[in-house]
Structure formats: structure tokens, C-alpha cells
Structure 1
Amino acid sequence: MLSRLRASLMLRPCVSSCRWTHTKEKGKPLMLNPRTNKGMAFSLQERQILGLQGLLPPKIESQDIQAMRFQRNLKKMTEPLEKYIYLMGIQERNEKLFYRVLMEDIEELMPIVYTPTVGLACTQYGHIFRRPKGLFISILDRGHIRSILDNWPETNVAAVVVTDGERILGLGDLGVFGMGIPVGKLCLYTACAGIRPERCLPVVIDVGTDNETLLKDPFYMGLYQKRDRSQLYDDLIDEFMEAVVDKYGQDTLIQFEDFGNHNAFRLMRKYREKYCTFNDDIQGLNSHHLNILCQMDRPGFKYYLKSFKILYYAALGIANLITMSMVEKGLTQDEARKKIWMFDKDGLLVKGRAQETDSNQEAFVHESPGDVQSFLDAVNVIQPTAIIGVSGAGRLFTHDVLKKMGTLNKRPIIFALSNPTTKAECTAEDAYTLTDGRCLFASGSPFDTVTLADGRVFTPGQGNNAYIFPGVALAVILSGVRHISDTVFLEAAKTLADQLTDEELAEGRLYPPLSNIREVSIQMAVKVVRFVYANNMAFRYPEPKDKDTFVRSTVWDISYDSFLPDIYEWKGMNPAPDH
């Protein structure tokens, strides 16, 4: 453990000795503020000048020792929810130490602060509650949202993640318990892309909940009422959007998260040309799937557009991005759409279906290919190259489905992306075993390594949208983008694909190692910054000449700042006359 800490320290420049931060706080308040607290890492001079002497044990500790203590404590814990509570406790006490611990073990800890454990934490949010994080805005606050924003202590907010809690992962309506999602997302803004945490604001909009269990739970923390679906809901969201840009500026990034589909699509259409906004479930979550197309012509991935077909279970958001990518590769829009088939709870989307079709789905409704009663029937009739699920439908990719995909394709693409793990369409073990290790597999939540009977070992790729949204957010913030086009996400997907080596692709990997996600995000931000300036989407000028240096210079550092006052002498001053 100690050797790993020392190695990581060698890779991280030490800037604390030359970076000075002014603070007006002294004594206990300085220690109670997670943004300024350093625990026992305050130097002797800082303790004496800032009124901390005697409030801390005599030992002066390095951040390395502090990180080692927390990492060892985490190793002793076995339950993911216990680890989540412990990590969030660190964040509440010492922000820089929290991100140090998270970043140094991102592969193990991302599933704790993000999916799948954050979903479990949301279901228990009122039961494990210790200290409020983020901003809570209820429908009873209509007409006063601007003054509520004024209560938030930070004034330089650049990114807002907001949810109304209606569709939390695969868990459904959790109301204000959904606050764990914006908090977790913004943790990754900082850990993955180096966006300063004080510039991030998590928000939950409380309009009630239709979850009967929560309405009977004495520990529920929101309004005890059914979800308001009247015009008042739209008025509330309108007021919220206007208040955010009025307070923080027109280029403030507003990310929508886990809204119900009936609101998510219409709100995206309503606001995307008026505000700097995107919906992660529709755009960000799905753009990392574009690896399929972005890498299609590379060695180890011998698929071609002529025979390529995708069968989705409830994944409308990705369809337009996939279509754009296919068109870019030479197909017409109609040709591209014909390669995309969709299946939902009512069956295959075909013309003349008895069930009502959402207007958003119309472009991808095809003539019936034959008698299709089940997802297996759809696979048999359509013969897809890839099957992708994001609906939380559980084990939709049955053994028969997986075996058939292995029969149809030399290298079948199987994306079981629903969260949490229990809602995944299949397990990694089933996918690899039933396709004889030939599939290209990705999941939304992490799965353990799979060893086949012949000794071959596969490390399942996690199709995590954390590969996309932090880097895109960093680029958007730095370049002053006002409206986020789908082409931005297409560019991000290309950048992600470029960072996967041919050797990794041949091994069945579809994503770079999660341990390298900070560099992945920074390179993505650089490419997207270049793209938006080249396409006149940026509004922050002068345009930086060296985009790489520009982006890297803004990345937040987890080294402690010095709070010693700026002491200096007046040079050249004449002494007072001697009387």
C-alpha cells in the first residue's frame, strides 16, 4: 500500500508549496469546512496563525498518511453501502482527501460512488442521511427559486446536475431520495475531468412521488404527495432554468438526469436551443455505445455497414446518434435507420402494432419482418449484429438469445447496460460462456473477471457514461458553448474510440482501462474544445492557441493549499524622520 502511494505521488506534481489560498475563516470553522479542512496536515505555522493550535493533535501528517488511513479502513469493509457512507463522510469533512482516495483507486471506488451502489444508497437515502448535499427545490417554492439559489454559498457555479427523481437508474420513482444521483455525477465531474468541485451544483426538484412505499416511510425527506403532473410542473422547471442562467450566466451547463422518459425527451427539445443543456440518459449515456461504429473498420473488429444491424431494447436516445454516425460513414439517413430495430415492453416496434407508438419512435418503426412475439423471436428474424439493452428489464438476454447471437455472428456484440447489476440484461459469465468467448461484451455496472473452462480469462468492459460526460462537460465549460449539439457527443465518441489500442480491441475490450479515465477525459476535452471552436460553437474568446495546454492548466489539483498569509516587506520605503 505504501509503495503504491509513493508511486502515485511521483506521478503527481507537488504544487502545494507554491500555491497560496486566502481564507477569512479561522479556528474551528476552518476545520468544519470540507473545502478548507486539511485535518492534521495543517502546518505548525498555519495552526498558530489560524487559531488551530490545540484544536488538533500535535502530530503534523502528510496527505499520504491520511490517504493510507482511509484506504485501509475501506479495505476492512465488506458491504458496498457501508463503503459509500464512509466515503461520503470523508467528502463532508475533507474534500481534497476524498478526491485523492477516489482518484487513486477509481476502478474499485467508482462502483461505490456511482453505479451500482449509488442506486442502493438512493433507496436508503433518508435512512443513512447525515448532512444535506446540494439544493432542494420543491413545487411549493414556485416564484422564489432565484432567492433559493442565492442561499447556495458558491457564486461561481459552472455546472448544474438536476433530477426530479422519477426514474432513478432501474429503480423507478425515488423522489428526493434521487439526490444521490446528481451528487454522484458531480463527483465524477471532478474525479474524472478535474472540474473544480465548488463550481458544481447538485439539485433535486421535488414535485412529489408516486412511490407508495416512500409515501408511507417516516424517513422519507420530500413532499408527502403524489407527483404533480399539471402545468405547474412545467412552470416550475421553466422558472428553475431561468433562475440558473440569471444567477450564473447563460453558458452555465445544466445536465438533466433520471427524468421520466415522457418528460426527458420533451424537455430536451424544449430547452436545447435556449440553454446550454443536455440529457445524460438520452445523449451522454448513449454516445459511448458509438464505439461499435467508430471502431468498425479497425483490426479485430471486422464488421461492415452493409451487414450491420442493431436490436435495442428501449434505447431510443442512442438511435439518432447511431444514425448520424452511419451517415458520416456513407449511408443515407433512411439506410441507417433501417439498420436499427427497437423492442420495448409491448414488443417489436413495427407498423400497425396495436400498442401506441411514441412520436419520438416514429422514424425507427419498420414494416413487420415476420411473426415476433418475444425478444428471442426478434433475434431469430432480424439476425442482428448487436443487441443492446438499457431498460432495466432484468435478464432479457436469455441463454437462448445469447446462444443464437453466437450462432449468427463471429463476434456478437452484447451490451447489457441496465443498472444496477441486478437489472442487467445478462451476466458477463453467461455472455462469454454461451458465445464461447467470442462476444464483445459491455455492461452498465461492473462484473467480475470471467474464466472459461479452457482457461481463457476475460475482463468485462463497463460501458460507463463516465467515459463521456465529464470530458464533454469540461470542454463545454471552458469554451463557453451556449447550445450543445449532438455532433459534440459524436466527436466525444470518436475520441473515446481513438484511445483504445488495437491490442486492447483484439482482447475484447471496448473501452480504455477505467484507471486511465482522467487522461481519457482530458484528451476528450481537448478534442471537443478544438471541435467547437472550429465549428463556431464556442463563445469564450480569445480562442486559446494551444488547446492541450489550456485544458490541462485548468484541471483541479488535489494537493493541499497553503493558508499562510502573504507576508512581505515594503521595499524602498523611506524611514520616518528622526525627531
Structure 2
Amino acid sequence: MPTSDYEQDTSTGFGPLRIRARGRAVMTNPTINRGTAFTQPQRKQLGLVGLVPSSVTTLENQVRRVYEQYRRTTTRLGKYLHLNGVRDRNEVLFYRLLTSNIEEMLPIIYTPTIGEAIERFSHEFSRPRGVFLSIDHPEMMEESFLNFGIEPDEVDLVVVTDSEGILGIGDQGIGGIQIAIGKLNVYTAAAGIHPRRCIPVVLDVGTDNLGLLSSEMYLGERHARVRGEKYDQFLDRFVHTVTELFPNAMLHWEDFGTSNAHRLLTKYREEICTFNDDIQGTAAVVLAAILAAVDVTGLPLGDHRVCVFGAGSAGIGIANLIRDTMLRTGASETEEEAYARFYPIGINGLYVDDQPELLAFQRPYARTRAEVEHWAVADPAHITLEDVIRNVKPTILIGTSTRGGAFTREIVEEMSSYCQRPIIFPLSNPTSRAEATPADVLTWSDGRALVATGSPFGPVDYDGTRYTIAQANNALIFPGLGLGVATCRATRISEGMIAAAAEALASMVNAYRQGAPLLPSISALRQVSATVAVAVAKQAEKEGLAREPLTDPIQQIYQRMWQPIYPEIEAV
């Protein structure tokens, strides 16, 4: 990757760094700067004599120093800003620190802390990262990407958001760039995607957040969120610009609003290599946990009844992947039979086919009015979760509602009364919005429930057994998916590739022991990502979607994974 300061082959994790810059220009570039770790000969060659303290230190000592600084910072946002500062000075040091402490630091550089960083973006703004595209100036789109300075064949990932559905906090305008940056940090830390092969993008289409529009500090376009035809034309221009400029890149959609997320994925998924983490990534990690849990129950997947509480983009995405798995494995013989296993619940209760507010992607899951008219319910116009539990007796309960405490003692006890091993996943983030705590679910089910959560929870001790709680964190899926796609240069991402990622993840756990987690630990993220990547690349090749032949998949994946170590330097 040639620049005015340096060049490096970023397609491998082991390439040398050829540096043209000299003196202070070296110290201000985070890609090539290594501070006190420059050796004496390197300092002489690069014009750094006298610009750093005399002692030459190791990367390990640098990590120890910045980690001590990190631990002294008392607030989560402060820790986030401290890590940003390290990254802006020295990328290798930042990623070495992060990969060495991934379980501790993932909640800081990703959810939940990144939500606060997004809200505070215009107040804490320091060094810009990423590409900012305004709907008021679509003609500047290509110029903006070219100014980012990466060659067409050197981009593996473009992560984009329009900031309408950020985490659990909604429309955050231009601050959404932070979620795109956070995702790419995880891609690099977890899967070794080279940090210089990624582009974070925010589509600034305005905001309906009156707090932002009223603030003098706000850095985005100052008007209401643009929708309709103008929005669609802007998105279409964006997609075609990205695919023309970066033909090998995977386009990752992040935190789009419910009305657009499914629509955009459906529109473009057959044309380009694209992926929506909120829909497909969430679905894959939840499917992995369900497959592990289903093995424990002994009941085939096709015999389970699935209630999805909060069936928006994420909830229906989960249902879609479970349904496809039922069909692919023969657990259900027809689509109609597969759809019949699901009971989705939204703000107006159970989805019923005479509800006009249902969106196109929700309608296939709606029950018929005739089916439910004889149920014993208090209000036929609003069939509640409690009504569904009593009348349907689901064996799997998935929460994506952001309604904290919605899975009550009565609901869990009712499920446990007819199901020996109920599968109960309160997945909403942050912790305060989780539908139930694992401790409550295990207590109310006498330790029989199989539990996974969206937020991180500590172990639960119940009746002499310690239960390790699986976190259905998308970071277990999307980094490996991106690595697999980049390695084989997939032309698009199929449902088979998503399912292969989920099955590879599920294969890494043994949940039969009482208290064992349903998913691998975040601490094993590099191994998890490599395992997922191999499965994804093999499936892409099997389906004829791989442009790069897989002659030795494990070696090819390993060779692709960038390592946060100081590379060999050549002064040029």
C-alpha cells in the first residue's frame, strides 16, 4: 500500500514495512510509529535521534505501560478515549493491548460503552477517522473515498451506517461513525483483518434527534432525516460507488432502522457481496447457541416451537436463519411447515395476518386470525407473551425486545412446567434492557433452563452448580465471516455461508455438562474467528462463490491474519 510516508503489502500478516518518512513525520503516523521501540539503528536511519527517550523498550513493556494508564482511568468513556488515543499514536501497540485483554476491553471498544461514545461524538471529537458522506452533497462521494487513500484491490471491508438504529439508543446522526469504527476494531483484533484494509463510513442523511439538532456542538447536517426517493437514490449511488472503486470489498450494513435494514439487504444481497450484522450476524450467533442447546434437549430442531419476543429486524433475522436451517437439514419438509414453528410478538402483540402495520419481512410469520380466535386470551386484538406461553407452550423463547424484565417468574415457571429443558435467551442490550437475568431464569426453572444472553453476565451459582453464561455476542461471528470472505474473495454472501459460520461456532462447545456455556468464551476470539473463517470460505467454494481457490484453507486463513507485532523495517 504505497503512501507518501510508507508502503506495505497488507494482503498478508507478515509483510515488511518500507518507510519513506523521516523525523517527526514518522512519529505522527500511527501505522509506522513505534515510539520508544525503535532500535538505535532504526532511529539513525529514520531521523529520530533525539526525538524519543534514549532507552529502547520492547512492545511488551509498552503494553504494560499503556495498560497501567488504562487501569487508572476510572470511567468507561474515559477508558474508551484513552484507547482511542493509543490507536491514534501507534496502531500496533493498540491492537496488541486489545488482543492481549480482549475479554476485558471488548465491552469498552464495542458494546455497551461505544453507545456513550456515539452520543458524545460531537463533544469528544478529536481526530477524524473514516469517510463522512452527506446526502446534501452526493457529488462528492467518489472524491471522498479517493481521499481516504486506499487502492482498489486493498480494501476487504466497508462498514457503513446511517445511524438510525444505533444499539438501543436510536437515531444518533453523524455520531454513528463510531459504531463503524468499533466494528472494524473488532474485525482486526478478532480476525486479523489488516487495519489498513478497512473503511468505516457514515451516511449523513440528517437526524430526527432534536437534542442533536438543538446542540451548537453537533457536527452533522442540520436537518431532519431524509427518507423516501432521495434517500434511496443516495443509497444506490453509495452502493455502486463502493462496488466500482473497491470490487473485492464486503459491504457490511450496521445499525440501519427497521424499515430500511431488511429492505436494503434484500435489494442488494443478490447483486454484491454484502452482509447485515444486526440481521445475519445476530441470527448466526443465536443459531449456534440454539444448536448447542437443542443437542442437550434431545428434541430435534424441527420439533421445537419458537417464540420471538420483539420480532423486528434482529428477531426476524434469527427466525429466518432457524427456519432455513430446518429446511436445509430436513427438520421441516416445506416452508409452510417451517413457518408454523414460529410465534413472533411485536409492540401490538402476536403477529396476526389482519394487522395492517406489519412490514413485508414480518408478514410470512403472521398467524391467521382463524388459528387464534379460539385461544383463551384477555384481548384478542393484543395477544400477549403470556397468552402465547399458555396457548402454544413454546420450547424456545428468544428476547430481542429491549423490554427489561419482560420474562417474568410466571413465564419461566410456566415454560418449565411443560418443558424439561426450556431454551430461554434474553438477548437485549444493554444489561438494563435484558428481558431477564440469568440468575432469575435459572432460579425460576430449578436450574433446568438453557440460557444465553446478549449482554455479558458473570457466572451463576445455583444448587451447588456453577453456570457459565454464554454471551451471544456478534463478535463471535462477523470477524470470522469477514476473514473467510476476504480470503476466498467471495462474490456474495449466501445463507449457506451464514449457516456454516453458525455450525462452526456451535461445534466448538460441549454443553452437555450441567452449567457449561452454550458458546465459546470471548477470550478465545482469535481461534473462534479462524475456525469460522475456514468454514465460511469452504462453503463459499462449495457454492461456486469463491474467486480465490482454496488449495490449503487453514494456511491461507492463517497467512491472511495480521499480527499486532512490529514488522521488519526498511528505510527507503
Partner of 1:104: 100
Query: Is 1:150 paired with 2:146?
Result: yes
Partner of 2:566: 560
Query: Is 1:61 paired with 2:69?
Result: no
| Structure 1 residue 221 displacement after superposition | 1.6
| Structure 1 residue 66 displacement after superposition | 0.7
| Structure 1 residue 394 displacement after superposition | 2.8
Write the distance in 1 (CA, Å) between the matches of 2:38 and 2:302.
63
Cα deviation 1:221-243 (Å, max 9, x = unaligned): 21111001131111111111111
Partner of 2:473: 464
Partner of 1:7: none
User: Which amino acid is the alignment partner of residue 364 of structure 2?
Assistant: A
Partner of 1:9: none
Q: What TM-score results when the alignment is normalised by the length of structure 1?
A: 0.90
Partner of 1:510: 518
Write the distance in 1 (CA, Å) between the matches of 2:404 and 2:222.
30
Write the distance in 2 (CA, Å) between the matches of 1:203 and 1:125.
15
C-alpha contact (below 8 Å) 1:83/1:112 kept by paired residues: yes
Write the distance in 2 (CA, Å) between the matches of 1:459 and 1:127.
39
Partner of 2:453: 443
Partner of 1:256: 253
Cα deviation 1:440-464 (Å, max 9, x = unaligned): 2111121223233x34322221101
Partner of 2:349: 347
Cα deviation 1:190-238 (Å, max 9, x = unaligned): 1111110100110000011111111112222211110011311111111
- Label 1:324 to 1:419 Cα distance change in 2 as closer, same or farther (>3 A): same
C-alpha contact (below 8 Å) 2:20/2:571 kept by paired residues: no
Write the distance in 1 (CA, Å) between the matches of 2:338 and 2:426.
23
| Structure 1 residue 32 displacement after superposition | 1.0
| Structure 1 residue 296 displacement after superposition | 5.7
| Structure 1 residue 141 displacement after superposition | 1.7
Partner of 1:535: 543
C-alpha contact (below 8 Å) 1:414/1:440 kept by paired residues: yes
User: Which amino acid is the alignment partner of residue 387 of structure 2?
Assistant: D
SS at 1:162 equivalent: strand
Partner of residue 195 from structure 1, selected from 157, 175, 193? 193
Partner of residue 391 from structure 2, selected from 363, 381, 390? 381
Larger-Rg structure: 1
Structure 2's unaligned 5+ residue stretches are 1-11
Query: Is 1:36 paired with 2:44?
Result: no
Partner of 1:398: 408
Write the distance in 1 (CA, Å) between the matches of 2:447 and 2:104.
25
C-alpha contact (below 8 Å) 1:111/1:445 kept by paired residues: no
Residues 129-528 of structure 1 correspond to what in structure 2 (within 5 A)?
Answer: 129-155=125-151, 156-249=154-247, 251-295=248-292, 298=295, 300-305=296-301, 307-313=303-309, 314=311, 315-330=315-330, 331-332=332-333, 333-353=335-355, 355-367=356-368, 368-369=371-372, 370=375, 371=377, 373-452=383-462, 454-502=463-511, 506-528=514-536
Write the distance in 2 (CA, Å) between the matches of 1:472 and 1:458.
29
- Label 1:104 to 1:267 Cα distance change in 2 as closer, same or farther (>3 A): same
SS at 2:32 equivalent: coil
Write the distance in 2 (CA, Å) between the matches of 1:427 and 1:80.
22
Write the distance in 2 (CA, Å) between the matches of 1:223 and 1:258.
19
- Label 1:27 to 1:408 Cα distance change in 2 as closer, same or farther (>3 A): farther
SS at 1:140 equivalent: coil
- Label 1:218 to 1:422 Cα distance change in 2 as closer, same or farther (>3 A): farther
Q: What TM-score results when the alignment is normalised by the length of structure 2?
A: 0.91
Write the distance in 2 (CA, Å) between the matches of 1:555 and 1:172.
34
Cα deviation 1:450-485 (Å, max 9, x = unaligned): 233x34322221101111111111111111211211
Partner of residue 117 from structure 1, selected from 113, 118, 126? 113
Write the distance in 1 (CA, Å) between the matches of 2:297 and 2:96.
37
Percentage of pairs with the same residue: 38
Write the distance in 1 (CA, Å) between the matches of 2:15 and 2:280.
38
User: Which amino acid is the alignment partner of residue 262 of structure 2?
Assistant: F
C-alpha contact (below 8 Å) 2:426/2:453 kept by paired residues: yes
SS at 1:143 equivalent: helix
Write the distance in 2 (CA, Å) between the matches of 1:398 and 1:102.
37
